[in-house]
Chain A
Amino acid sequence: MNDFWNDVEPLVYKSRIKVPYSWQAGETASFFLTQLRDKKIIWGKACPECRKVLVPPRKSCPFCFVDTEKWIQLSSRGIIETFTIVKRDTPVQPLKAPFAYAVIRLDGADTGFVHLLGGVDLEKIQEGMAVEAVFSEDRKGSLLDIAYFKPTGGA
């Protein structure tokens, strides 16, 4: 194989596929996200069968395969179920490393809410820590209208 390269130059073709999308968020996600943007309220949606309050809210329950019904206003407070401290950068991470992701159980919800942690000493993060949402000043109807969750007791 090495002899081959004596006669042939190895070419590498660099390219990228940039394909724009315009996804409709749908009525369920649109309500959730506009409420984050306009009211700084986090809403969940309850399944009439299993009674789970799903957040982020879904139009149907993935466990029961029925339409969800009631909108439930949730607290912007919760507790950390698990977390990780990211030590390397990628082109799509919203923050520079080191920073933390967490799965947060919001008060009133039955599913975990995945988001960022902030305003906290990374070495001090623990499961069970009480946190609350800090909303961005500049909100656009996106999950990141919540900038991050910070400990309620103070870092």
Chain B
Amino acid sequence: MERVAIVGVGQTKHSAGRREVNYPELVYEAVSLALADAGLNIDDIDNVITTSNDFWDGRTIASMATGDVSGGVGKNISCVEGDGTFGAFYGLTRILSGSYGTTLVTAYSKGSESISPLITNAAFDPIYMRCLGLDMVTAGALQARRYMKRYGISEEECALVSVKNHGHALDNPHAHLAMKITVDDVMNSREVAAPMKLYDISPVSDGACCIILANEERSKKAANKPVWVKGVSFCADAYLLGDRDLSESRALEKAAQGAYKMAGIQNPREEIDVAEIYDAFTYQELLWTEGLGLCDRGQGGKLVAGGATAREGDIPVNPSGGLLGAHPVIAAGLIRMAEAVLQIRGQAGERQISRKVRQALAHGVNGICGQSHCVWVLGSE
């Protein structure tokens, strides 16, 4: 694959509700930050991809509403509906096509402006499932229970993810929900849908993120050392929940294998220095570490309990605080990419891991209970 790099990243301070900006203005913030970070101006951008969702925005053809604030006027601008990692994938392929040298990718949502369970309920099949009233959280609870029961993973092990990530978020100036908590705090938090309690569940945040991709030639103009795309892949599972084994993540395994193959990685646990993954719920961090091959199937609980995934551990996961620390829907996966870039550059401030980062992993999810996954391997060389 031709060499393509991420040369600029920008993200807003994610929060419970940004009163002073509407959502295009939120995107403008992230875009401005990314351009400043790259040392580029908007004329250096050849094309724009927005990642958005009409339901969350409350506007159909949502992508066209944020073109103005993303440098889209007079340019080819398109949209990916779904998580930011998928938008970035399309942005990458536009450069690989040879037609564009740089792509600006945005992803955003203002979760405070709508009612999440109504929106995620609408993702379910209208004929066969929607009338049950399921939403992202209650469906996640079905998966959590299935996964935990199969492998004997405890609620306390899941709680360790919450303690870790909310704690990591204390060092992340962009995080929404940073807290120093204990396992007991998680266990005593309000039950939402068993086995998940309040602190097992990511918040609903307002936030935007922007990354700028460039081919090798155009990367030379950027202010920072480029962070190279070493491997990327994505894969989807079946749509209906009952068609899948919720305790496994075959789609993630396949996506991870594809990304590792491209990157020449044979032992991800050894060769990945830091991972930013999609922890919408505590059980998901455990299940996805298994799907990513960072531990064997069923060992996710033991992995976190042993401390390996803490910032000081041998495979740090979500030093930024992850989604538990900040979850603007749609933007969440792109933020993982931005955090991975900062770690590789050594620019992650207080949340920087202490070992030198040669290769980082960023992961995003689209769909209920992890129907589809996008895995990125980024590197310093």
Residues on the A chain within 8 Å of B194, using CB:
84-85, 87
Chain A contacts to B: CB under 8 angstroms: 1, 4-5, 10, 15, 17, 21, 23, 25-26, 29, 33, 54-56, 62-63, 81-88, 90-95, 101-103, 111-116, 127, 142-144
Of B157-165, B220-228, B238-246, B346-354, the segment with at least 4 beta carbons within 8 Å of chain A is B238-246
Q: Known contacts A4-B20, A90-B117, A103-B241; decide if A114 and B133 are in contact (CB<8 Å).
A: no
> Of the candidates A26, A56, A102, A127, which one forms a contact with B240 in the assembled complex, judged by CB atoms under 8 Å apart?
A56
Chain B contacts to A: CB under 8 angstroms: 19-20, 58, 115, 117-118, 121, 126-129, 131-135, 138, 141-146, 149, 190-196, 238-243, 246
Q: Which residue of B lies closest to A19 (CB)?
A: B60
> Of the candidates A56, A103, A144, which one forms a contact with B142 in the assembled complex, judged by CB atoms under 8 Å apart?
A103
Q: Known contacts A87-B193, A88-B193; decide if A1 and B20 are in contact (CB<8 Å).
A: yes
Quick check: B241 and A88 within 8 Å, CB to CB? no
Quick check: B19 and A29 within 8 Å, CB to CB? no
Q: Known contacts A92-B117, A101-B142, A114-B129; decide if A127 and B134 are in contact (CB<8 Å).
A: no
Quick check: A87 and B133 within 8 Å, CB to CB? no
Quick check: A114 and B141 within 8 Å, CB to CB? no
Quick check: B149 and A82 within 8 Å, CB to CB? yes
Quick check: A83 and B142 within 8 Å, CB to CB? yes
Can you identify 17 A-B contacts, CB atoms within 8 angstroms? A10-B19, A15-B58, A29-B128, A54-B243, A62-B238, A62-B240, A63-B243, A82-B142, A82-B146, A82-B149, A86-B193, A90-B135, A92-B118, A94-B131, A101-B138, A103-B246, A142-B131
A29 to B142 alpha-carbon distance, docked (Å): 24
A103 to B90 alpha-carbon distance, docked (Å): 35
For the A-B complex with A82-B143, A84-B141, A143-B127 known, give 14 more contacts whose Cβ atoms are closer than 8 Å: A21-B126, A26-B127, A55-B242, A62-B240, A81-B146, A82-B145, A83-B142, A84-B142, A85-B194, A92-B117, A93-B133, A114-B240, A143-B128, A143-B132
Residues on the B chain within 8 Å of A55, using CB:
242
Quick check: A10 and B20 within 8 Å, CB to CB? yes
A25 to B131 alpha-carbon distance, docked (Å): 14
Q: Known contacts A62-B243, A87-B192, A143-B129; decide if A92 and B146 are in contact (CB<8 Å).
A: no
A33 to B243 alpha-carbon distance, docked (Å): 19
> Of the candidates A5, A85, A143, which one forms a contact with B193 in the assembled complex, judged by CB atoms under 8 Å apart?
A85
Q: Known contacts A103-B246, A111-B243; decide if A84 and B128 are in contact (CB<8 Å).
A: no
Q: Known contacts A101-B142, A103-B241; decide if A92 and B133 are in contact (CB<8 Å).
A: yes
CB distance from A90 to the nearest CB of B (A): 4
Residues on the A chain within 8 Å of B138, using CB:
84, 86, 93, 101
Residues on the A chain within 8 Å of B118, using CB:
90-92
A150 to B273 alpha-carbon distance, docked (Å): 49
Quick check: B241 and A112 within 8 Å, CB to CB? yes
Q: Which residue of A lies closest to B125 (CB)?
A: A56
CB distance from B177 to the nearest CB of A (A): 18
A142 to B239 alpha-carbon distance, docked (Å): 20
Quick check: A116 and B246 within 8 Å, CB to CB? no
Residues on the B chain within 8 Å of A88, using CB:
192-193
Residues on the B chain within 8 Å of A62, using CB:
238-240, 243
A115 to B128 alpha-carbon distance, docked (Å): 10
Residues on the A chain within 8 Å of B192, using CB:
86-88
Residues on the A chain within 8 Å of B239, using CB:
62
A24 to B327 alpha-carbon distance, docked (Å): 36
Residues on the B chain within 8 Å of A81, using CB:
146
A129 to B80 alpha-carbon distance, docked (Å): 42
Residues on the A chain within 8 Å of B58, using CB:
15, 17
A86 to B195 alpha-carbon distance, docked (Å): 9
